[in-house]
Structure 1
C-alpha cells in the first residue's frame, strides 16, 4: 500500500494519523489533496456504519485505498449524546466552540459527568470494498469549563482518567497513547502486520512444498534411471571373464 487517503479535511485529525503512522512505509494524504467532492450522507446510527460509508465512497471516487473514521463523544447523562452527531451537535456547520458551548449548556446542572470518546475505523480498497475495521474508546469525565489549549473538538472539555489530566493539556504523544483513535489505529496496524506475516509464511510454505516436490521428482527419476542400466554398469567392479587363447596344433603330412 503506497498511498493511504485519510477521509477528512480536519487537519487536527490528519496530524494525529501522521504521528501514529510515522513508522509505516505509507504516504498519507487527506481530502484537501484532491479536487473537492460532495460529502456522502452520514446517516448511520453507529460510528462503524458511518466510517464504512465514508471509506467506500471516497475510495471509489479517488481510486485509492481510503481510511475513514467516525468518532465522537458519548455523555452518559445525555443518553449517549452527542454521539454520531458530535461534529454537528450545534448545527451542520458548527464550529468546535459552538459544539462545546452547547454541550456545557446542556450539562450545566448535571452532577454525573461520566463520558467517553469512541472511534470506529474502516479501510476500503479502490473498488470500495471494506478490507479492515477496528474501534477504540477512551473513558473520562466532562469538565465544567475548557482546560488547556491542545487538541481539537471536545478535547478541552475531557478529563482523562488514564492520564489524570485534561486532553487539552496533554501532548500529542500522551494523547495518542490513550485516545480512542490511537487505540483503534494500533489495532489496525497490528492487523496489517499479522496479515503481512501470514502472507510471508504462506509464501515460504509454498516454496518449501515446491522444493520438496522437486526433490521427490528428482529422486524418483534417479531411481528409474538406475534400474534401467545394464548389470555391468550397475556393478563396475565386476570384470568380464577372459578365456585363454588356444594354440593351433601342428599340421601333419
Structure 2
C-alpha cells in the first residue's frame, strides 16, 4: 500500500488525521482529491459501525485503501449522548455552537459531568473489505463554560484534569502526544 485515502470531508478532522499519520511511508490523500466520491450516510448505531461503513463503501468506490473514521463525545449522565450523533446533536443543520449549546442545556443541573471522546478507525482494502480496526478513548469532564479557541466541536468544554486544560486550550504538540497511542495502534496494521 503506498496510497491511503482518509475518508473524510471535514477539513479540521482531515488535518488531525493527516498530522497523526505524518512520517509514515505512504501518500495520504483525503476526499478533496476525489470530488466524485460518494457521500456515505453515517447511520450505524456505533462509532465502529460508522467507521467500517465509510471504509468499505469508499474503498469499493475509489479502488484504494481507505481509512474510515468516526468519533464523538459520550456523556454517561446523558445515556451516552451525544454519541454517534455528536456532529448532528442539535439537528441536521448543525454547527459547533449549536451542538455545544444543546449539550450545555441538556447538562443543566447535572452533577456527574464525566465524559469521554471516542475515536474509531477502520481500514478497508481496495475491494472494500475491512482488514483492521482500532478504538481509542480520552476521558475528561464537561465544563459549564468554554475555555480556549483551539480545536473544534466540543473541545472548548472538554476538560482534561491531568493537564488542567480543555482540548480547546491544548497546544497541537500536546494533542499529538495524547493521540500517539492511537497512532501507534494504526501503525500496527498500516
TM-score, reference length from structure 1: 0.72
Q: In angstroms, what is the RMSD of aligned CA positions?
A: 1.4
Whether 1:135 aligns to 2:144 is no
CA distance in 1: counterparts of 2:115 and 2:123, whole angstroms? 27
Does the Cα contact within 8 Å between 1:104 and 1:144 map onto a contact in 2?
yes
CA distance in 1: counterparts of 2:188 and 2:113, whole angstroms? 33
SS in 2 for 1:55: helix
Q: Corresponding residue for 1:28?
A: 28
Deviations 1:160-180 (A, max 9, x none): 13322110000112112224x
- Structure 2: gaps spanning 5 or more residues: none
Decide which moves more: 8-17 or 37-46.
37-46
Q: Corresponding residue for 1:96?
A: 96
Does the Cα contact within 8 Å between 1:134 and 1:185 map onto a contact in 2?
no
Does the Cα contact within 8 Å between 1:135 and 1:183 map onto a contact in 2?
no
Q: Corresponding residue for 2:187?
A: 189
Aligned positions of 1:37-186 closer than 5 A: 37-179=37-179, 182-186=180-184
Does the Cα contact within 8 Å between 2:115 and 2:139 map onto a contact in 1?
yes
Deviations 1:164-217 (A, max 9, x none): 2110000112112224xx54332111344xxxxxxxxxxxxxxxxxxxxxxxxx
Q: Aligned-pair distance for 1:93?
A: 2.9
SS in 2 for 1:135: strand
CA distance in 2: counterparts of 1:92 and 1:29, whole angstroms? 27
SS in 1 for 2:188: helix
Does the Cα contact within 8 Å between 1:137 and 1:183 map onto a contact in 2?
no
Aligned positions of 1:194-233 closer than 5 A: none
The alignment of Structure 1 onto Structure 2 pairs a total of residues equal to 190
CA distance in 2: counterparts of 1:165 and 1:15, whole angstroms? 22
Which of structures 1 and 2 has the bigger CA Rg?
A: 1
Which is richer in strand? 2
TM-score, reference length from structure 2: 0.94
Whether 1:19 aligns to 2:19 is yes
CA distance in 2: counterparts of 1:161 and 1:68, whole angstroms? 30
Q: Which runs of 4+ in 1 moved over 6 A?
A: none
- Structure 1: gaps spanning 5 or more residues: 193-253
Does the Cα contact within 8 Å between 2:116 and 2:140 map onto a contact in 1?
yes
Does the Cα contact within 8 Å between 2:38 and 2:61 map onto a contact in 1?
no
Does the Cα contact within 8 Å between 1:16 and 1:172 map onto a contact in 2?
no
CA distance in 2: counterparts of 1:163 and 1:187, whole angstroms? 23
